[in-house]
A and B are shown apart, each in its own frame.
Chain A
């Protein structure tokens, strides 16, 4: 399926789907035609905790999804962290060159192989004012990424994500959910600087000295950031910023 006509008919069919199950089936077929075996189409949010509705469609071997659930791998998934660094698609083998992996993230990539996932091709989805998302296509053990089909896969990923996003928005409107897709609690550059340094164990006084601003200003940045996340402590703030991929673990240990 490297021909444009296949992509065009996928786009037309995806736009006609009226529910997520239909889109799931369509995507399953398209992924196989492209030379992949599995897919994940997700917003990078904790699906069990978000109040609003998010894109969360996947077809992975159960050995892998159970492991992800049990070990909470979605919290610091290295592929999701890499998405924050990139507008362009990448393969899983690129990830160690894109971000500084923690031991746990290295273990995660290894565990994916053991669970029968050979490699993956991930398209980051960045939409202003929304959670980052991604569309990943992956291959089963022993099967290489179909390099020649990557341009087609890139488009299928983008159009599939948009179709899913619109279906999720419509479902939310029907259910009367107030927050369709909760907005990113984007911290300002300066707030982020303060949170990074606080995460490295610095006091407000140290942060002020490093950034060349007053203690009072540092305090204000930290308070404003806590307010954005509606949390009370610095620890909660750091964890939430990490979880939203506003921070990478590398920021804290680097």
Chain B
């Protein structure tokens, strides 16, 4: 299942949100060596982990373990592409109520093989469901160019917002990902699921 965590219901998820920040530190700081802030030596938290952020958390059935997560930010508010990487957009940063940004997509480092695949799949379908429920037509994201083919192979409809640029020795670029009802159909067919993955009661309360 995938929990939708907003400023309104975050108090119910403090343990899991802490676990998310700790896993993000293990992945982005320890493993991928990104130079980003660490709080208390164990949590990766930056200026965009604020009240505007919505987190999708992939959880185990007992809702005790963080299996993976993604941070979604409205493009009308401060966000990574708009405030840190605007140079990746050759024709300006796209903004609008129907455009949100994907950052910090990860699966828990202890997951292997099929478990990791499942957590990734839950998050992918969760992002599509969230977009359709919240009237989002496009996500934006910053991606390493070497990942582009894998991202598209999943079925995401990508378009480049600028030419790839060299940042800290890596080729990275800004992309938009279009979401339509057909995206949901395609993803559910690929995963072999018919059921929604978002916890619908939480969505209703969060809105």
Contacts and interface: CB of A to CB of B under 8 A. Distances in A.
Interface of A: 2-5, 7-8, 11-12, 15, 87-88, 125-128, 130, 151-152, 154-155, 158-159, 161-162, 165
Chain B interface mostly: mixed
B159 A155 contact: no
B145 interface: yes
Contacts of A130: 153
B162 A154 contact: no
Contacts of A161: 149
B150 A128 contact: yes
Contact of A126 (B150, B158, B164): B150
A154 B148 CA distance: 10
Given A88-B171, A151-B164, A11 B159 contact: yes
Given A127-B149, A127-B153, A165-B153, 17 more contacts: A4-B91, A7-B160, A8-B160, A11-B159, A11-B160, A87-B146, A88-B171, A125-B149, A126-B146, A128-B150, A151-B164, A151-B171, A154-B164, A155-B148, A155-B160, A158-B145, A159-B158
Contacts, number: 55
A159 B91 CA distance: 20
Given A4-B91, A154-B171, A155-B173, A162 B149 contact: yes
A8 B153 CA distance: 19
B90 interface: yes
Contact of A2 (B159, B160, B163): B163
Interface of B: 90-91, 145-146, 148-150, 152-153, 157-165, 171, 173
A88 B90 CA distance: 22
A158 B153 contact: no
Contact of A162 (B90, B146, B152, B163): B152
A124 B149 CA distance: 10
Contacts of A127: 149-150, 153
B163 to A, nearest CB: 4
Given A11-B159, A88-B171, A151-B165, A158 B91 contact: no
